[in-house]
Amino acid sequence: MRHSLRTRPFYLSLTLACLLAAGAQAQDAISAKDALAKVARNYGPSATAAIVEMTGTFGQDQPESWSLVAWDESATFNLRAYSIERGDVTDGGEDYSRLYPENPPTGFIPLDKLKIDSTLAFEIAEKQARAARMGFNSLNYSLAAMEYATEPVWALDLVDADDDLAGKVFISGETGEVLRTVFIYRNDPLNLRIVDSAAPRTTEATTTAAPEPEQVIIGTTPPGGIAPAPMESLIPAPATPPSDSIAPPPSTSIPPAPPLSPAPPQPIIPTPSGDRVIPPPPIPLEP
């Protein structure tokens, strides 16, 4: 399709406007550390000595504005908010509506512990998204201390062209370590697939069934090649019938009678006349 000379300037003007808008956005974008440096120049180093939280939205790749909540002992509730937009810093006043006194901050980040700037956090998140084959259009940044600690943690929300959340990447702001990733696949609107690196890994329970015993049919050769025993050898021989004479067990045998000892000699009984009398034999008892 050819465009007339009248319509070509319109398309050229539209393309030029888009390029200028993108260039202006890139020029207005500011990293987290640059925003903190502007706050420190305007309000003193103590304003950024202990960071409670820092957020930036619609980054491509860096946001145009940041919101900062930091420790301020002079404030009524010890917290003060700052706004950094297009290089301008504004004191947002005492911030206590979401935190003190009902919800005290879970931690404070010393400025010297923030080693990873938002620019490097973007590069890390983009690498994770490429590995997961996840596309996105912009990022929302959030910086806060790890719960009950001082380690800074970046939480980056990856937003697609439809303004839907495509994923989240959690990065240590001190070491650059990727702490957690969550990616949301929307190929099927009715069945989202969520891949969370911190989700428990469930392994399917596999049970190995005991092998069934191999059945060998008598009269055939088994796989081992050894011919089976003949049928006659498999039939047990009949038991031997017992004999009529039953010998007593060894423990019940009657020992033989001991031999009779010879009868002792009959005693000689002397008499008053000096004769010797042999007594008569004893009378045997009746059986």
Q: What is the mean pLDDT of residues 29-36?
A: 97
Contact in structure between 141 and 152 (CB atoms under 8 Å): no
Contact in structure between 110 and 173 (CB atoms under 8 Å): no
Task: Give me the phi and psi of 106, to 5 degrees please.
Answer: -80, -10
Retrieve residue 76's tokens: 């009524």
Mean of all residue pLDDT scores within the chain = 78
Confidence of residue 43 (pLDDT cuts 50, 70, 90): very high
Q: Is the pLDDT of residue 14 over 50?
A: no
Contact in structure between 170 and 154 (CB atoms under 8 Å): yes
Q: What is the pLDDT of residue 33?
A: 97
Q: Is the pLDDT of residue 42 over 90?
A: yes
Task: Give me the phi and psi of 42, to 5 degrees please.
Answer: -85, -35
Q: Is the pLDDT of residue 212 over 60?
A: no
Q: Is the pLDDT of residue 55 over 60?
A: yes
Confidence of residue 100 (pLDDT cuts 50, 70, 90): confident
Confidence of residue 101 (pLDDT cuts 50, 70, 90): confident
Condensed to tens digits (0 to 9), the pLDDT of residues 162-204 reads 999 999 999 999 999 999 999 999 988 788 999 999 999 876 5
Q: What is the pLDDT of residue 94?
A: 87
Condensed to tens digits (0 to 9), the pLDDT of residues 126-172 reads 999 999 999 999 999 999 999 999 999 999 999 999 999 999 999 99
Confidence of residue 76 (pLDDT cuts 50, 70, 90): confident
Q: What is the pLDDT of residue 195?
A: 96
Q: Is the pLDDT of residue 280 over 70?
A: no
Condensed to tens digits (0 to 9), the pLDDT of residues 222-234 reads 455 545 555 555 5
Q: What is the mean pLDDT of residues 15-28?
A: 52
- pTM to 2 decimal places: 0.63
- CB neighbour list of residue 96: distance below 8 Å, 6 or more residues apart: 75, 76, 77, 79
Q: What is the pLDDT of residue 190?
A: 83
Q: What is the pLDDT of residue 109?
A: 98
- Tell me how many helices (H) and strands (E) the chain has: 4, 12
Q: What is the pLDDT of residue 158?
A: 98
Q: What is the mean pLDDT of residues 206-231?
A: 48
